[in-house]
Chain A
Amino acid sequence: MEIVMPDVQLLALAPEIILIIVAFLMLLFSPLLGGENTKSGPKVGGIVSLIALTAAFVINLLIGQNGQSEIITFGGMIAKDSFSLYFNALVIIAAAFSIIISFDYIDKFGIKEGEYYLLILFSTVGMMLMGSSTDLLSIFISLEIMSIPIYVLVGFSRNNLRAREASFKYFILGAVSTGIFVYGAALVYGSAGSTNLAAIADALLAKPLYNDPIFMLGSAFLISGFLFKISAVPFHMWTPDVYEGANLPITAFMSVGVKAAALSAFIRFIVYDLAITGDSWVLALSLVAVATMVLGNSAALAQSNLKRLFAYSSIAHVGYIIIALIAATESAIASVLFYLLIYIVTNLGIFAFLIYFSKKENECESIDQLAGLGYSHPIMAVCMGIFLFSLAGIPPTGGFMGKLFLFIAAVESGYVTLVVIAVIASGVSVYYYLKVMMSLFEKGKKTEENIKNPYAALVVFIAAIITIYLGVMPGFFIELAKRCALSLF
């Protein structure tokens, strides 16, 4: 039997390879640098991983500039097109910002282990691979490379039972969703004869497999696996608990990175395969979208814990995104890409703000802790206002533009009812975003204290500027999103 070596273009994977090498080197040297008795150990790891992320980002841009529209390598398992490069850039930005906001945080909370940063790096590699995967096998592996470090990171803080509980809940539910995902992959493989997304599409075009119950069941299981990772209703139950239990930088990283990465693979699956099968899955996903928006927004109304509030708000935002996924046209996917960029920047800004006001061993997570901060720290409060307005979708912030393009794309495809529900739901969301704002400017609770956390402040300012910029001059990024979405079709 002749063994054929698949063509392997390692250069296309250079960003991931750099991150993996740096992460393994940190794994070797972190006992020397970040032991119990060293003070600066973890910080060195953070700076090294920031440099690695910057290098990966630059190489990612260079691959994009290369002119080659698409590199398919590893036997059709990895595709580096503009779509995957866009998502790689997004998750690198998310990881870099999460690392910057961790600098001061881990001093305050006594995290000395150097593994903290390298786990973020490993998880980032998984997220990047996920955006590039074009085979159920590579999607599955990258899903796990992404998730397993996150299970550990969620339970990272010592002597904190909430973190342990969150870690176990996320782990066991994540493992169940993995089980469902691979079983679905097995059924789809049996029905279509291949695990490659493009080959599945060919099989679907050759014969109407979507009447095949095995294929239907398999794709339903695959969709459930994806919906779990992006925390859509009815697979959302873990989100508030995990967001509350995890450390704030990890919550920030999870709420943007995991969602973006899972969505990238989900979009690829929808555009490559599900779009061919006609309307068989539209009704189910519409129900999911409506339930996600309604439940996310209404559950957030009653929350007084900020982490839980933003967990439910992130669930609601997934609902808006799913509407565009149902439409699955070029402009709809482009609007999702643009929306995700805004969502990532805004959410990172919000969590950086919460970290800025966290005290030693005491996270700023209750809405009462914000009372009166608007008078003592007016600039930070204005930035927070920008983020909240952006999440609520009020102009001139990026969130407004994102929602506008998302809803336009959905209306163009004829999903008017869904858009009406989404607009009402986002109207409801204004209440709890403004509730946070109100508490910032609560009268008579003026608190004077000197807070020094330049790293978190830097991220807050950068995020606020980008949010405003995207709201006022979105042209360049919309064109970019359109170009990247085009590479899928």
Chain B
Amino acid sequence: MITTTHYLVLAAIIFAIGCFGVLTRRNLLVMLMSVELMLNSANLTFVAFAKSLGDTSGHIFPIFIMTVAACEVAVGLAIIITIFRMSKISDVLGLTFMKDIKSG
């Protein structure tokens, strides 16, 4: 029997994977994908809670999250492409054009 708790735990695991991916991966595109995982885990949580509460507003929220996620991906990919066109960088560690305190 699959209960609400199972969905919530699954969503939490997906969220953790997404968070971990953003923090550890170095490729710009993979970081973007990890962020999408985080947003999708929120979707799953919303739908699971909405089903168990018998409330519709929790079903509406994920639709908006998906729309916004699509917009974010569009902008994010555009930014990544312009970076790659200018500097052939696809690794986040290459993005060091600014330094905090100029030493020496």
Mark A residues whose CB is within 8 Å of B: 136-137, 140-141, 144, 148, 151-152, 155, 159, 161-162, 164-169, 171-172, 175-176, 178-180, 182-183, 185-187, 189-190, 193-195, 240-241, 244-245, 302-305, 308
Contact = CB atoms under 8 A, between A and B. Distances in A.
B83 A152 contact: no
Given A172-B76, A182-B65, A161 B97 contact: yes
A303 B101 contact: yes
6 contacts: A152-B75, A171-B72, A171-B76, A176-B19, A179-B18, A182-B42
Contacts of B75: 148, 151-152, 171
B28 A168 contact: yes
Given A189-B49, A194-B57, 8 more contacts: A137-B60, A137-B64, A164-B82, A172-B32, A183-B15, A189-B46, A303-B101, A308-B100
B79 A171 contact: yes
A394 to B, nearest CB: 27
A192 to B, nearest CB: 10
Task: Classify the secondary structure of B's interface with A.
Answer: helix
Contacts of A161: 83, 86-87, 97
A141 to B, nearest CB: 6
Nearest to A366: B102
Interface residues on B, range: 35 or more
A116 B97 CA distance: 24
A144 B68 CA distance: 7
A183 B57 contact: no
Contacts of A155: 79, 82
Given A176-B38, A186-B42, A244 B98 contact: yes
Contacts of B42: 179, 182-183, 185-186
B10 interface: no
Contacts of A175: 32, 35, 72, 76
Contacts of B15: 179, 183
Given A141-B68, A166-B98, A185-B42, A172 B61 contact: no
B38 A179 contact: yes
A459 to B, nearest CB: 27
B46 A186 contact: yes
Interface of B: 8, 11, 15, 18-19, 22, 28, 31-32, 35, 38-39, 41-42, 45-46, 48-50, 52-53, 55, 57-58, 60-61, 64-65, 68, 71-72, 75-76, 78-80, 82-83, 86-87, 95-98, 100-102
Given A155-B79, A161-B86, A195 B35 contact: no
B64 to A, nearest CB: 6
B98 to A, nearest CB: 5
Given A144-B72, A161-B86, A180 B64 contact: no
Contact of A172 (B35, B39, B53, B71): B35
Task: Classify the secondary structure of A's interface with B.
Answer: helix
When A and B form their complex, which 6 residue pairs have the shortest distance between CB atoms, in order from nearest? A179-B38, A190-B49, A186-B45, A182-B42, A175-B35, A183-B42
Given A140-B68, A165-B97, A178-B72, A186 B49 contact: yes
Given A152-B75, A172-B22, A189-B61, A179 B98 contact: no
A187 B61 CA distance: 13
Nearest to B60: A137
Contact of B79 (A167, A186, A190, A240): A167
Contacts of B11: 186
Contacts of B60: 137
Contact of B39 (A182, A190, A305): A182
Given A189-B61, A195-B61, A241 B83 contact: no
Contacts of B48: 190
Contacts of B101: 302-303
A140 B64 contact: yes
A275 to B, nearest CB: 24
B30 to A, nearest CB: 11
A74 to B, nearest CB: 13
Contact of A164 (B32, B46, B86): B86
B71 A148 contact: yes
Given A172-B22, A172-B76, A308-B100, A190 B53 contact: yes
Contact of B58 (A152, A189, A305): A189
Nearest to B53: A193
A165 B89 CA distance: 11
B79 A168 contact: yes
B44 to A, nearest CB: 8
Q: Which of A161, A164, A308 has the most CB of B within 10 A?
A: A164
A425 to B, nearest CB: 20
Contacts of A189: 46, 49-50, 57-58, 61
B79 A141 contact: no
B73 to A, nearest CB: 9
